[in-house]
Structure 1
Amino acid sequence: MLKVLAKGRTQSPVLKNSLKSTRLTRSVAMAPANVRSSSTALPAGYKEDSSKGPMLRFEDSLPKLPVPTLEETAARYLKSVHPILSKSEFESTTAAVNEFIQPGGIGPKLQEKLIARREDPQHKNWIYEWWNDAAYLTYRDPVVPYVSYFYSHRDDRRRRDPSKRAAAISTAALEFKKMVDQGTLEPEYMKKLPISMESYQWMFNACRVPARPKDYSEQYSPIENKHILVIRKNQFWKVVHEIDGKQLNTSELEQQFKRIYQKAEKVPAVGVLTSENRDVWTDAREVLLKAHPSNAKALKEVEAASFVVCLDDAAPVTLEERAHQYWHGDGQNRWFDKPLQFIVNDNGTAGFMGEHSMMDGTPTHRLNDYVNEVIFNNKLDFSDPSIRSSIPEPSIIKFHITKEVQGEIEKATKDFIEVIGQHELRVQAYQGYGKGLIKKFKCSPDAYVQMIIQLAYYKMYGINRPTYESAATRRFQQGRTETCRSVSDDSVAFCKAMGNAEVEDKDTVALFRKAVNSHVEYITAASDGKGVDRHLFGLKKLLGPNDELPSIYKDPAYAYSSTWRISSSQLSSEYFNGYGWSQVVDDGWGIAYMINENSLQFNVVSKGLGSERMSFYLNEAAGDIRDLLVPTLEAPKAKL
């Protein structure tokens, strides 16, 4: 059965579910790698190329993404599907896997081709082009809400005035941009090893562009495009951020934002076109370009901007109101194809929205952490009162709107309201404990919270189903993400024990620790490029047009085990009060979570499955596991 998409395009639901899961969420993933100011001794093979500048100095010496052996992928795959299949289903899957990997069969032949592709000097990363295309650029559903993601920033009590807040954020973002453009940004490290910084090239002065059969990403010269795109009341404004070789200071930027607040008039929302199905937007873009010759220049100024500042006509207060505002807003005061959009509301609250196709969440997490850190700790000069008389006024980027363009805007607005209306979002801000206590339990905080999610799902459904967590593979050239399959025999045994009053607590604790260890083992392997999902995807890509589809891919377990009923990811910051994105299948959940020192937070999204109830179960599961483990802590020694 095929799901029909707009303009007659079709896509297998199995392929769609497998790819949607990779879009944003899973790569927004794990908390950014540690950043250090200088490198210590590195293993053999890692060399610094100073000609590339500090940011990219390790890039060419990073190892290539490995190709796991067929045997290790087969073993890990069978282990991952065992807890979610019946005995007869598992026997059938085992037979299909053994047939696939047998000597002389199709599996070893595909493996040889994949290894050859890895060794080909033309490919820095054997999956990079395949994955970017399949998971993102050929993806036709709207980027909002299905690909875009958000961060909700902590309140800045010194800058309740939205002009001041926007000016401070822009000052900090421009400082970060300077380091990226000049290549002076210090690389990040995972386990003391440098990781790929290549994706930072898609951060500033870049834009996704709709096209058939796949979108593409455009990079623009930072030297020729020294302007911020500001959107207010759907109207686009160009704010030049550098004059005579000198960046505008915070006072000058504040003045620019104040002028826009004063002058902006509500206009037709051209930006809402970017919220459409990608084929629909591709056609609408042509309508826009044909409407008037000047629209091409206007479109280029929008797409080439350094980044976007959206001055929203809204005043969200609660965490859920903020989440909705930053995740999608009203669909109109945005340009959803831009990778960086900072959002400032009339009450001074602020956040960020990212587009995901060429850059995962860890780089934008670092950017947003930097922006907030320098603002809250006053690490940049935000107080220079001087304002140069030579600074040009903000200028309107004007689109000529014909009747045909207006029709496209009205259709996009209607479609946006319909799509967003299907989603239900809840925020579970759990204040009982956080990373501090979890570490006292001697657990990996991430694996611990994954067990909270598994237990909550079990409480709601009485069963565990396929769960995705993102694992970063950036320690390899052009590395992006791999799937961590969170459900294991051990996690299922733990959830069942928690629901069985006859199991003693000490036995449940033992099962919990086994479940945590199993999760750590899988995510470690995935981060090392040895998960099963990308490997099986790569082997399948090498099938010829006349090759019969191997039984491993026909087996229902292959589709079921990669249909992510829970799509989860962690990203934590003491400067954020929220972050999130969408579910990836219609009958599944999107659960983004933060693990801060003294709190946990879950952003729960579904298509009407009862997000309020899931939020409750997450709260209850967090309390249950805490109560289970607290007695295991050593009693404090009495003072003599």
Structure 2
Amino acid sequence: MPTSTRNQEHEHGRLFDFQATLPKLPVPDLPSTVQKYIESLEAVLPRDKFLESKQVAEEFAKSTQGQELQQRLVERAAEPGRANWLEEWWNDLSYMGYRDPVIPYVSYHYSYNDDPECSTASQRAAHVAVAALAFRAQLVDGSLAPEMQKTSPLCSHSYKYMFNACRIPHKPSDFCRTVDYAANETITVIRSNQFFSVPITQLGMPLSTAEFVEIFERIIELADSQTAVPVGVLTADNRDAWADNRQLLLNVAGNAQVLDAIESSAFVIALDKAQPVTREELSHAVWHGDGRSRWFDKPVQFIVTDNARAGICGEHSMMDGTPTLRLSDFVIGYEHECPQPARTDLGFSRLEFQTPPKVVAAVKRAGEFFDTGIAKQHISVLNYNAYGKELIKTLKCSPDAFVQMVIQLAYSRLHGCVRPTYESSMTRKFLHGRTETCRSVSNESAAWCRAMAANASRAECVELFRKAAAKHTQLTREAIEGRGVDRHLLGLRMLVQPGEEKPDIFEDPAYAYSSHWYLSTSQISSEGFASYGWSEVSPKGYGIAYNIKRDSLMMHIACMRNEFGLNSDHLAYYLEQAANDVRKLLAQ
């Protein structure tokens, strides 16, 4: 299916100034990747199993088949017109071809700090809308500057999927629909299971903050006086089921126009009736709510609750978290104009789905499916105020490596061992780059955790910590440079042709085990967030999102309530204990 219907002129402007000069994602050297893979196994496997897997991996690196697969990958990377050798595979395997629901298993959320200038939901929503539209205006008119990592520009490709875009359910793989920005100058507002379209320019002028307040108040009053079938929950269903039910909707006259209006709109604002108080309640509200008054396929969906709290729920398939982090920081820090009288005769329109009995039945089943899945999600948000980035730097340690060691120590204390850990490393310095895996568990980190458990001397524990942190920094740097393990091995595996024997390295249980993420972690840094996070990626594991602020650490821990007995509150306890202990260890 096509991924874009947008006019190519929108790939121009300041944001895309460096696209033509960005390097392509490299193909790492095969022996080097295999050696890193072997090192990553040693820390998480029993000695006998490790030696068996080591031999299998070394034989693959030397084999004729290994060399042939490597050559195929090199040739694929060099194909004329191919921006990135990984892109097509990664987008399909990890996102578009993935059939579990996007919520909770794909989408992420950023929950914002409170805005002291806003006491009502309408005011907060108006502030969010005006600021987000100002950011969009810069993207549309070409004035938005490219992101930089120190002096290196980052790829801007994913920004094309931020506004006026939507993931579309389809078998066997979904696709992303984009439309020209000028084709739909509206936002979609959702309240009480009902959908409304708000033109962002009326009577020849953009809506002001005060005018958005007035419109949102009218929408809330109107929506709360009526009821509707919660069609939005269909977007929280299994992707194949949603593909079938989207077609069911399209078979009813009038629904195609409603779907088009939502999917092509600039973004969504969901005005939620929830009134969250705790960080956990806010995370649940922004991440998924009750699943009904949402459209989870939109890459940008702002949530505003009745007690004026706010955040963003991002659909992950075509855009990772850094562009929406930039958008969110812009929204949070936006300077609003002085209040002006609102114009009269400003309008909005209701987007009304036709819901015959088959649609109602599908919605009911999707709602039950959502409720069952979300009930299994257990989250804890640790707001650790003892120190943050500034103190960690005085301890002469990378803040990210520091927190990763805290995570390893906490997990090993809770579960008695270290297990495979994923940390997302951004590869946007390359054309169409997204992420690479940093395998956070190393021989060095495992040795440090063992020394801490054995109450070894302070001098020994400090020395081992320094080695572990330095190793982690090295692994992270290599991943950012496109020289990690997992994406390269994936590329080789994908090039095994039908009828060819699969290499033993990919049949070895250690390959599956070492990429089964018992800890899925990632970090951002924003002073404006109360929390942020996503789900675990394995029923046996945790998802840990951490925000390294100047003077505090925020950790969002998610796991499943199931037969494996994991508990996010327990891990949060050990994370706090570990953070205290590491500071004490290094500060003496």
TM category (shorter chain) comes to over 0.9
Which residue is 1:229 aligned to?
188
Which residue is 2:4 aligned to?
none
Post-superposition Cα deviations, 1:160-198, rounded to whole Å, max 9, x if no partner, equal 111111111100000000111122211111131111011
1:588-627 equivalence runs, <5 A: 588-608=541-561, 609-627=566-584
Aligned partners of 1:380, 1:417: CA distance in 2, in Å? 38
Amino acid corresponding to residue 69 of structure 1 in structure 2? D
TM-score under structure 1 normalisation? 0.88
Residue range with higher mean Cα deviation, 574-583 or 85-94: 85-94
Aligned partners of 1:244, 1:118: CA distance in 2, in Å? 51
Aligned partners of 1:141, 1:454: CA distance in 2, in Å? 29
Which residue is 2:156 aligned to?
197
- What SS is found at the alignment partner of 2:16? coil
Amino acid corresponding to residue 299 of structure 2 in structure 1? P
Post-superposition Cα deviations, 1:354-381, rounded to whole Å, max 9, x if no partner, equal 000000000000000010011xxxx342
Which residue is 1:114 aligned to?
73
Name which of 71, 85, 110 aligns with 2:31: 71
Which residue is 2:329 aligned to?
369
Which residue is 2:242 aligned to?
281
- Correspondence 1:451 to 2:411: no
Aligned partners of 1:150, 1:482: CA distance in 2, in Å? 21
Name which of 528, 531, 535 aligns with 1:582: 535
Aligned partners of 2:11, 2:494: CA distance in 1, in Å? 36
Which residue is 1:331 aligned to?
291
1:407-486 equivalence runs, <5 A: 407-486=361-440
Aligned partners of 2:141, 2:422: CA distance in 1, in Å? 37
Post-superposition Cα deviations, 1:18-41, rounded to whole Å, max 9, x if no partner, equal xxxxxxxxxxxxxxxxxxxxxxxx
Which residue is 2:448 aligned to?
494
- Correspondence 1:175 to 2:175: no
Name which of 253, 271, 290 aligns with 1:293: 253
TM-score under structure 2 normalisation? 0.96
Deviation at 1:246, TM superposition (A): 2.8
State whether residues 380 and 569 of structure 2, in contact with CA within 8 Å, keep that contact through their aligned partners in structure 1: yes
Amino acid corresponding to residue 252 of structure 1 in structure 2? E
Aligned partners of 1:389, 1:333: CA distance in 2, in Å? 28
State whether residues 160 and 349 of structure 1, in contact with CA within 8 Å, keep that contact through their aligned partners in structure 2: no
Aligned partners of 2:452, 2:59: CA distance in 1, in Å? 38
Amino acid corresponding to residue 320 of structure 2 in structure 1? D
- What SS is found at the alignment partner of 2:43? helix
Post-superposition Cα deviations, 1:79-127, rounded to whole Å, max 9, x if no partner, equal 1111111222122112111221215x10111111111111112211000
Aligned partners of 1:253, 1:428: CA distance in 2, in Å? 35
Closer, same or farther in 2 for the Cα pair 1:552/1:417, shift >3 Å?
A: same
State whether residues 187 and 198 of structure 2, in contact with CA within 8 Å, keep that contact through their aligned partners in structure 1: yes
Aligned partners of 1:181, 1:134: CA distance in 2, in Å? 31
Aligned partners of 2:154, 2:117: CA distance in 1, in Å? 36
Moved over 4 A (4+): none
Which residue is 2:505 aligned to?
552
Aligned partners of 2:191, 2:342: CA distance in 1, in Å? 23
Aligned partners of 2:490, 2:25: CA distance in 1, in Å? 14
Residue range with higher mean Cα deviation, 185-194 or 486-495: 185-194
In percent, how many aligned pairs have the same letter?
46
State whether residues 573 and 594 of structure 1, in contact with CA within 8 Å, keep that contact through their aligned partners in structure 2: yes
State whether residues 342 and 350 of structure 1, in contact with CA within 8 Å, keep that contact through their aligned partners in structure 2: yes
Which residue is 1:160 aligned to?
119
Post-superposition Cα deviations, 1:456-476, rounded to whole Å, max 9, x if no partner, equal 000001100000000000000
State whether residues 255 and 354 of structure 2, in contact with CA within 8 Å, keep that contact through their aligned partners in structure 1: yes
Which residue is 1:20 aligned to?
none
Which residue is 2:90 aligned to?
131
1:500-539 equivalence runs, <5 A: 500-501=454-455, 503-539=456-492
State whether residues 84 and 466 of structure 1, in contact with CA within 8 Å, keep that contact through their aligned partners in structure 2: yes
State whether residues 127 and 336 of structure 2, in contact with CA within 8 Å, keep that contact through their aligned partners in structure 1: no
Amino acid corresponding to residue 410 of structure 2 in structure 1? A
Deviation at 1:388, TM superposition (A): 3.1
Deviation at 1:51, TM superposition (A): 9.7
Post-superposition Cα deviations, 1:212-253, rounded to whole Å, max 9, x if no partner, equal 000000001210200010000010001100135532111111
1:251-270 equivalence runs, <5 A: 251-264=210-223, 265-270=226-231
State whether residues 259 and 394 of structure 1, in contact with CA within 8 Å, keep that contact through their aligned partners in structure 2: no
Aligned partners of 1:629, 1:243: CA distance in 2, in Å? 60
- Correspondence 1:90 to 2:90: no
State whether residues 145 and 581 of structure 1, in contact with CA within 8 Å, keep that contact through their aligned partners in structure 2: yes
Deviation at 1:384, TM superposition (A): 4.2
- What SS is found at the alignment partner of 1:55? helix
Post-superposition Cα deviations, 1:335-363, rounded to whole Å, max 9, x if no partner, equal 00000111111111111100000000000
- What SS is found at the alignment partner of 1:126? coil
